[in-house]
Structure 1
Amino acid sequence: MAITCLIPADDFRHWWRTPKYFGTADAFLTALLLGAFVVGTLVPNLVKHRRHESRKPHVIVSPGQQRVLLWAGRVFLVLALIGYVTWAVAAVTRGYGQQQLHAALTLEQGALLSARTEYLTTLPGITTLTQVGPLALVCLLLDRRISGRRHTLELVVLASFGLARGFFNAERIALMELAVPVIVLAATALPKSRRRQRSILWATLPLLGPLVLAAVFGALEYTRSWNDFYARHSDTNFIGFVLRRLGGYYATASNNSAIVLAHDATNSLIPRYTGQFLWNFPIVRSFVHIDNSATNGAEYSSYLYARYGNLEFNNSGGILPVIIDYGLVGAIAWWGAIGLLIGICYRTMRSGELRGIILYAVIYVGVLEMGMLFYWGLGRAFPVIAGGLITWMLLHRARARED
């Protein structure tokens, strides 16, 4: 929001080829909804809890929960591998071979983009299984920490598929979905160091977050857009391109939120911005129609960006569009409720309970993505959230039986 407010309208047009719509009123609404979210997250943590919480909680696990954890990790691993293998086989049957592989590895111009649209298109319902990979990763890592089983082969295979997906399919968010849970687990379950120097170093690591983000983003953007187009057409060097591009993703997302608020007048029974995963279900897509005279279907947002903004930057922002779904009062209540649920999950995690650690680790990606999109409502997030909730219930039942 700060980037969007500070950058002049002329730079918006020059850098990202879109007029600037985001104004003071939009900034105020964003701050209001963020405030509701923050208040919601604080409520569970202000209530006294029966368990003592430490800065580095001891993971609480019973024998029954340990069995559930192991089997959950194995089941999610198998499902994820089925999705990845099916995706790879489908790509090969479509003609993806040694020539395309060599072109991708040597970073030939346009190779990754053409492969993504021609050979690596998804198979609905099958490739979606790959989305439970983060759950498998979290469960296996926790089981490794608790039981001592190493799961080396499983973790290497899972990480390899994830890295290959991020590179060949130019899918940055897939890498985030694997990396962020590992970081959350490390921040939660690593033993507290007795050396003051290490404690200070660990506490200051988040300050390196922006640098790490820019470095990883730049490495991936090199293969995604710089090598294919902007190396020949950009008016700046690669570092300037990366910073401008990275800032552009966030600035244009907030700007697109203002476009949506001003021009999206669609009427639908299903929330379009917070319930996008529902539109991906074939039955729902067949029976629910978006009433709009200009265009219809889930691509209406793209129509708005093409008309008023820049279709190349098509993130709608994760905060303001909730007003379209529920109105202003409803959006305040919605963000307060989302914050409350995340606060409960965080409190459970800080208490050392497995269910809280697992669920919080995989949903934290949505907190990081709030500036660009409402991640928890995407179709890619539905399997991991559903799987996390099922695991939560199974772990709770296993603990209740033993208590």
Structure 2
Amino acid sequence: MSAADGRAGVWWLSPAGAVLLVVPATLVLAVFFDDAYFRQSWGTPKVLTPATAWLFALGAALFCLGALWPLLRSPASAAGGWPQLTAAQRSRLRRAATVVFRLTVVGYLAMAAAGVARGARPAQLLTVLTDQDAFDSTLRLQFAPVTGVTTLTQLGIAYVVLAAVLLSSGRDRGLELRLALVLFLALLRTYFLTERLAVLELLIPLVAVAALAISYRAGRIPARLVQLAPFLLVPAVVAVFSAFEYSRSWVFYSQHRGGSFVQFALDRLAGYYGTAYNNGQLALLHDEGGSVPYGSIEGFWTAPGIAQLHLYTLLTGRSEPDDFSTLLQQYGNPEFNSPGGVAIPFLDYGTVGGLAFFLVVGSLLGLAYRACCDGHLLAVLLYPVLATGLFEMPRYLYWGQGRVLPTLLALLLTWWYVSRARPPRPTSPRPTLRSTT
């Protein structure tokens, strides 16, 4: 069954579907655990109130409401396949992918050079591997980002999207090898630098493109199986999280507390979400009422040039994110430092403004998802990246972070370049010469 047959996409990739998968369950979890459990398991008092929890739930509900109305119209016919690309556009997309891949590799080489210059040595990597302990390693400081240079590593997200879109129409060994390399490099960051988001922000767009391609291009049975994917993906996510948490924190904590690793991993996973909502409540309680939004447009304030000017501090007298770190040191636990994506709009715009933010952003993402399902190239390129923010909403407002800005710019430039591809000129038939006798 093809897109022309009227398929409406993958429910769990839609903005409303994704948010309903993650926000209600994690918010209920945060409400369920009491203050004693918060203190014992996660080292922070519980300050989340039922009233604030209901406010967060209302924001998520308005987001879903805004995301649903664009889906009311029937999906457009995509008789040319999903995504809708001409041969000329596909050729340009491949060239753009090559450029993005090379820039990504340059970013990782720059990161490696910076680490070596700061004293990182192969022996440290071997120590982390043998001891299975990345918590006490100095590698995170030695491989800290260099503004404007190592930022190129974030283009790996754009490359994953471009490669996945190209591979959706058929296998290509070169693309597959380069894609595997980018994923492997992100995996190294995740393991040695305990930067779990580095691999998540590649895997979610990759899964999104693959799921949509199967839904629109494969047969009826594979398309139906894709709709059931969360029943397999959720246990897989828990397993992968547990595997990385072993070297990230279990080796350290196992020396100071009892219990099994499985119990620790599940408790740790719950803690990342529970404390995110709790941290959001902390920020709301101690907010000084800054008049200029920060968290929802963090990428603007941390952009090269603007960050060096300390523009946000000059305008408001506040120092973000340092103020939030100080807040956690005084009232929470700096180890669990997720700001809570559902809380950020209320911090930036107030109660009414925050609710309006969720409604508007939900509508925009609903329109983007509808366009992506219809095969429009710009949405096909951007929406898989935006989907990461849906699944990370309980912890971060991913769309406003500076780490995603290079990817969005690269994909916008790619769309502009590919959309300018000219269709092949029609060839007029040659006149036939009549033979005279």
> Do they fold alike, i.e. is TM over 0.5?
yes
**8 A contact 2:290–2:316 mirrored in 1:** no
Give 1:204 shift. Answer: 2.3
Moved more, 77-86 or 273-282: 273-282
Query: Match for residue 308 of structure 1?
Result: 331
**8 A contact 2:134–2:193 mirrored in 1:** no
Q: Mind listing any 5+ residue stretches in structure 1 that lack a counterpart?
A: none
Match for residue 250 of structure 2 among 213, 226, 232: 226
Instruction: Map Cα deviations across residues 347-393 of structure 1 (whole Å, 9 max, x no partner).
Output: 11111233322211122111010000111111111111222333334
Give 1:202 shift. Answer: 3.5
2:105 is the counterpart of 1:89: no
Match for residue 327 of structure 1 among 335, 350, 365: 350
**8 A contact 2:135–2:248 mirrored in 1:** no
**8 A contact 2:389–2:399 mirrored in 1:** yes
User: What is the correspondence of 1:290-305 to structure 2 with a 5 Å cutoff?
Assistant: 290=313, 296-305=319-328
Give the Cα–Cα distance (whole angstroms) in 2 for the partners of residues 173 and 180 of structure 1. Answer: 10
Match for residue 195 of structure 2 among 171, 174, 191: 171
* 1:380 counterpart SS class: helix
Q: Mind listing any 5+ residue stretches in structure 2 that lack a counterpart?
A: 1-26, 426-437
**8 A contact 2:276–2:339 mirrored in 1:** yes
> Aligned residues, how many?
396
Match for residue 11 of structure 1 among 37, 46, 64: 37
Match for residue 77 of structure 2 among 34, 43, 52: 52
Give 1:97 shift. Answer: 2.0
Give 1:63 shift. Answer: 2.7
Give 1:85 shift. Answer: 0.7
Return the letter of the residue paired with 1:240: Q
* 2:204 counterpart SS class: helix
Match for residue 278 of structure 1 among 300, 304, 311: 300
Instruction: Map Cα deviations across residues 148-180 of structure 1 (whole Å, 9 max, x no partner).
Output: 543233223222212222212111111111111
2:158 is the counterpart of 1:132: no
Runs of 4+ in 1 over 6 A off after TM superposition: 291-295, 399-402
**8 A contact 2:132–2:246 mirrored in 1:** no
Query: Match for residue 193 of structure 1?
Result: 219
Give 1:52 shift. Answer: 2.5
Distance 1:287 1:156, change over 3 A: closer
Return the letter of the residue paired with 2:377: L
2:274 is the counterpart of 1:251: yes
Instruction: Map Cα deviations across residues 178-222 of structure 1 (whole Å, 9 max, x no partner).
Output: 111111111100233344xx5554432211233112111111111
Distance 1:200 1:124, change over 3 A: same
Query: Match for residue 49 of structure 2?
Result: 23
Give the Cα–Cα distance (whole angstroms) in 1 for the partners of residues 368 and 224 of structure 2. Answer: 26
Return the letter of the residue paired with 1:222: Y
Sequence identity, in percent? 33
Give the Cα–Cα distance (whole angstroms) in 2 for the partners of residues 401 and 143 of structure 1. Answer: 20
Give 1:111 shift. Answer: 6.9
Query: Match for residue 105 of structure 1?
Result: 129
Moved more, 388-397 or 120-129: 388-397
Q: Which has the larger radius of gyration?
A: 2
Give the Cα–Cα distance (whole angstroms) in 1 for the partners of residues 51 and 167 of structure 2. Answer: 50
Match for residue 182 of structure 1 among 187, 198, 206: 206
TM-score by length of 1: 0.90
TM-score by length of 2: 0.83
Moved more, 243-252 or 32-41: 32-41
Give the Cα–Cα distance (whole angstroms) in 1 for the partners of residues 181 and 355 of structure 2. Answer: 43
Query: Match for residue 357 of structure 1?
Result: 380
* 2:169 counterpart SS class: helix
Distance 1:112 1:133, change over 3 A: farther
